[in-house]
Each structure stands twice: as C-alpha cells, then as structure tokens.
Structure 1
Amino acid sequence: MRKSTKLFFCASGIFISYFFYGIAQEKITRGKFSIDGTTDKFTFSTSLVALQCLANLLIARVGVQLAGKTSSETPSHWYFMLSLTYIGAMTASNKALIFINYPEQVLGKACKPIPVMILGALIGGKRYSLTKYLSVLLIVFGIVVFMLYKTQRSEHTFKANFGIGELLLLISLASDGITGAIQDKMRARANVGGYEMMYHTNFYSTILLLIMVSFGDGLEFISFCSRHPSLYWYVLGFCITSAIGQSFIFECISAFGPLTCALITTTRKFFTILFSVIIFSNKLVTQQWIGVLLVFAGLFADAFFGKKKTPILK
C-alpha cells in the first residue's frame, strides 16, 4: 500500500471510529442516570478505562495473529513505561469530564501535538521545522483564547470547579507527550508493528488497571451499571469504537510517527466539537469559536506548509 493511501486509510478510520467513540463517552460521563426520582452521576473513570484497555487488548491480539510477525528487539520495560503514561493520559482526560464539558475537554486535548513535539525533542532527540513550531504556537494561542472564555455556566459552579478540569487535562497532555517520546524511541531502535505495539501496551495497562479497579471502584461500577442497565450499551459501544480506533492509531504511529498521528487525531476533534454542540446542546460563545478557528488554522497551516522545505530549529 502506498504511503499516501495508507495515511488516508488510517485517518479515515480514526475519524469515523472516534466520532462514535466521542458520542458514547459523553453519554457515559456527562449523562444523567435517574432511578426512583434520584439522579446518579457516573464517576468511575478507572473502571471504564480498564474495560477500554481490555477491549483494545483483544482486538490487538487478533491483529498480531493476522500480521504473523513480532519484534524481539523491543525491551519489555519500554512497554511497561508506555502503559503507565497511557493510563495516566486516559484516566486524567476521562476524569476531567466531571469538571468541564465535552467540547472543552476535546479542545484541551487538541494541545496534544505540543507536548509530543516538546518531549519528542527533549527525550527522543527529534528536530522540527520552523513552520511546525509556528503552527503549534498558533494552536496554543487558540487554546488560550478558548479557555479564557468558559462555556456558559453559573458563577457558583465556575468558582467551585475552576482549575480542576484544566489540571487533569495538563496531566493527560504531559502523559501524551511522554508516550509520544517513548514511541519515537521504539520506532527508531526497533522495527515495531502497529498491532504489536498496541497489544503489549494494552497488556500491561490492563493488568495494572484491573489491580487498581479491584482495590478501587470496581464493585461500585458494577452496582452502578446494575441500577442503570442502559449504560451497558454505551459502555459496549465505547469499548468497541475505542478498540477499532486505536488499531488505526497504532498503525499510524508505526508508519508515520506519533506527531503525525497527533495531528490527525486533533483535526478530527473539530468535527467532534461541532457534533457535540448540535447533539448535546453545548453552547459556545463567540470568543470560543474564534479560539476553535485559531487552533485549526494552525493545524491546516502545518498541513499545507509543512511539506515545504523550511529551516530546522536546532
């Protein structure tokens, strides 16, 4: 398969899978589950991520069997470190939804190329063009504009929750950056396939998360689902779309690197925001839409000018 065709294939798979993934995620984490006049709120992020990793592991295992090749050059401790940063990123971003709405979380995660670039340069020894750095600065400015104008909420709620959701997003983004740097090292030093990387990452992640859940909110999560049976379908859809989407992500990382993958996953977030606004009536003020446009102007500037030869910042 030609590289351009494979890139389009991976991008399409990521866009479609994570569109439905986003709907299921918001239904679970932001939905209202009522019984006997009492409304329950979903707060079991660790259990949800554990099921997600288990589904990813099963799909990855099938992919490894079909690929029929493995790399013996990859040290196990790399996968273990990868699983730790992956758990940190996923758990923090899911918990952030308790304090901020979905468009805010999505656009916050649109910063992902920034830590991937910075930590890729510091840890992985990567070098990027001046155009790419300028594009990323435009993205940062758009994020700042968006965050300065919060989605409409009461003053009391704003004061109670301000900073917690953003702090969780920073933890998630830092974890994403370290994950990208480790993946760059793995690509540079070992011939690692996408499904192989996905399998081993989720293998360690699943073990760690199941241990955490058994001593944490596992029983409460089961009890919550028993009280609200409709949640089973959303969780099932969440896990399936995650597993399919992640298989495309790891194939993209294996072939093109974590930064290219981060840019693809970030562009799809614009459409996620639009559909979230339409479907879930999350209202954005004018200044926030300006921030959104600035973010994606930076992304498209990188896509258009990034292929041209520009000076490398050392």
Structure 2
Amino acid sequence: MDTSRLLFFALGIFVCYFYYGIVQERITRGKYVSGPDDEAEFFTYSLSLVLTTCFVNYLFAKILLATIQKKQGDDSTRTIYYCSSALTYLLAMVCSFMALQWVSYPTQVVGKSCKPIPVMILGVLLGRKRYPMQKYLFVLLIVVGVALFIWKDHSKKLSADSAASESWMGELLLVLSLTMDGLTGAIQERMRAEHQSKSGHMMLNMNFWSCIFVSVAVLLSGEIWDFVAFVGRHPDIVWQLASFAMAGALGQFFIFLTVSEFGPLPCSIITTTRKFFTVLGSVIFFGNSLLTRQWIGTLFVFAGLFLDGMYGKSPAAPAKPVK
C-alpha cells in the first residue's frame, strides 16, 4: 500500500511539473506585442512569477485544509521551522537561477541532479536521520545515472569565451543552492520527527513565509509595478499565469504529501529522476537515438531505483526528536 501511494504521488509530481515546465517556457520565452506598431517584449519578472506561484499555493493549501484535509487537525510545528525552511527553499531557487550567469544550462541541470546527496548528508547531520549503508550506494547510482544521461556535450570544444564563463562563481552558487536544498530537507526531517507535521500545514505555512520574503524583494526592487504594467499591456498572459500557478500548486501538493509521509529524500529522488524520465520519454516518442553514455546512465538510474525499492528500505533509525 505504501509503495502504491508513493508511486501515485510520484506520478502526480511528474504530470504536474511536466505541464508546469511547458507553460513556464511559454511565459518566459514568448514574445508579447500590444499593438501592430509596437516592438515585441519578453517576460522578465522572475520574482513576481515566484510570488504569484507562492500566493496561489497558499490559497490552494488554505482551501484544502478547510475541505478535504480538515482532519489534519491543529498544527504544533514551531514557526521557526516553517520560516527557515521557506527561506532555504527560496535561496536554493535564487542561487540556481543566478548560477546561469556564469555556467551553462547543462552544467546547472547536472549540478542540481546531485540534490539527493546533500539532502541525505544534512538529513543525517542536522535532521538526525539514519540510513542503511546500501541506501547511500543506491542514491549515488541514481545521481550518477541522471548526470550521465542529461549531460549535453558541448559542441566539440568549448570556445574560449564559453570556457571563461564557466567560472568559480557559478560553481560556488550551485554548491550554495545544493546546500540550501540539503538544509530544507534537514529542517523538514526535524518537523516530521518532533511534530509529525502534515502535508497541508507544511504547504500552507511554507508558502505563507515564502510570500512574505518574496513580497519584500519585489517591493524593494520595484519589480512588482513593472509586472502589473506588463500584465495590463498583455492581458492574454493572465490565463497562462493562472494555469502555471495551478499546475505548480497541485505539483507542490503531491510534493508535500511525499515529504510528510515518506520524507524529503524520496521526494528529492522523485524530483531528480523526473528530469531523466522527461528526456527519456521524448527520446522514445520522437525516435531519437541514445549515446552510449546515455545508455549507461539509463542502466544506472533503473538499477538504483530497483535496488532502492527492493533493499533500500531496511530498518533505519528515524530522526530523533530534540528533547
């Protein structure tokens, strides 16, 4: 039963974030023209897009707790946990986006595919979670497999300019982003151990604090006024923003269900392999051939997932509540 629920949650994450990614690309890469004589402009309001998503997520969680999740009862989780996990989550996202100024997109994607590793390490160090030894090997197999599969070879040799752009600053930002991912997972482990935090309360409170942090950022930067003016010039984008936010809210709902019932590590494995299966699906459906490296990566991913499903659930000490 637990395996079936985990697979259902994983399917929900896959479907919602697949659509989420498609709409996000349409919004951020589309050209917007308000009149026949006007120049086309692009959507460049990332913080406002994050704020919109967090606000819709908050409303979605509010409705869930008032209806189908009302049995979750009162929440005893300390506010500092929600506040700090929302901050680390946002910082991970910001560092990841900023890294693209110095590293290529393939480098950023491969770097983020290592997310389960810091989630596991910091879960042990700070979240007081214990994993069986084989779990480390299975997770490493999955991470290496995803990295091998989604890495796109640069056109033969990188040009001097491209090589120069792969600077230490981008790598540092990726390390910081992964560290923030690990801290988020560690805090969530503490929440589960000490307060048995439920999915609805986690989603509601983390998005509440995320809205506060991002609101401060968009107000201080003045971006919010430019965003409102842009939407006024291009009202057709409202439907795209609404469907984007709803897909994100439903996807996040499945993420918090996974975290609250199975922990942040299975969730990070699901979100990491989602990229792999998205690319693999495109290869299968559109008849593209795989490189030898990608076949090896595919073998690693499926071996890691199979072995983790079969042997990675050996009894492991849960996170210990702080006295």
Partner of 1:260: 266
Partner of 2:320: none
Partner of 1:17: 16
1:30-79 alpha-carbon deviations (Å, 9 max, x no partner):
x1425468564443222111111101101111111122233442111111
1:25 maps to amino acid? Q
Distance in 1, Cα, partners of 2:216 & 2:129: 35
1:91 maps to amino acid? V
Partner of 1:61: 62
For structure 2, the residue ranges without an aligned partner over 5 or more in a row are 318-323
Partner of 1:221: 227
Larger Rg: 2
- 2:207 is matched with which residue: 197, 202, 214? 202
Partner of 2:139: 136
1:138 CA displacement? 2.9
Alignment root-mean-square deviation, CA: 3.6
2:189 maps to amino acid? D
Query: Which segment is superposed worse, 162-171 or 44-53?
Result: 162-171
Closer/same/farther in 2, CA of residues 125 and 97 from structure 1, 3 Å limit:
same
Distance in 2, Cα, partners of 1:290 & 1:228: 44
1:220 maps to amino acid? D
TM-score normalised to the size of structure 2? 0.79
1:179 CA displacement? 0.6
Partner of 1:75: 78
Distance in 1, Cα, partners of 2:236 & 2:283: 23
1:155-181 alpha-carbon deviations (Å, 9 max, x no partner):
366246424655444333221111110
Distance in 2, Cα, partners of 1:311 & 1:193: 21
Percent same amino acid among aligned pairs? 41
3-state secondary structure, aligned to 1:132:
helix
**Does residue 1:109 correspond to 2:112, yes or no?**
yes
For structure 1, the residue ranges without an aligned partner over 5 or more in a row are none
1:97-139 alpha-carbon deviations (Å, 9 max, x no partner):
6777776655443222111101101111212222221123334
Closer/same/farther in 2, CA of residues 43 and 146 from structure 1, 3 Å limit:
farther
**Does residue 1:162 correspond to 2:166, yes or no?**
yes
Alignment of 1:176-255 (within 5 A): 176-216=181-221, 217-255=223-261
Alignment of 1:265-284 (within 5 A): 265-274=271-280
Contact (CA 8 Å) 2:146, 2:298: kept in 1 or not?
Answer: no
Partner of 1:48: 49
Distance in 1, Cα, partners of 2:269 & 2:147: 18
Query: Which segment is superposed worse, 93-102 or 221-230?
Result: 93-102
Distance in 1, Cα, partners of 2:265 & 2:159: 38
Distance in 2, Cα, partners of 1:88 & 1:284: 37
Distance in 1, Cα, partners of 2:177 & 2:97: 9
Number of residue-to-residue matches in the alignment = 308
Closer/same/farther in 2, CA of residues 3 and 295 from structure 1, 3 Å limit:
same
Contact (CA 8 Å) 2:82, 2:205: kept in 1 or not?
Answer: yes
2:179 maps to amino acid? A
Contact (CA 8 Å) 2:141, 2:300: kept in 1 or not?
Answer: yes
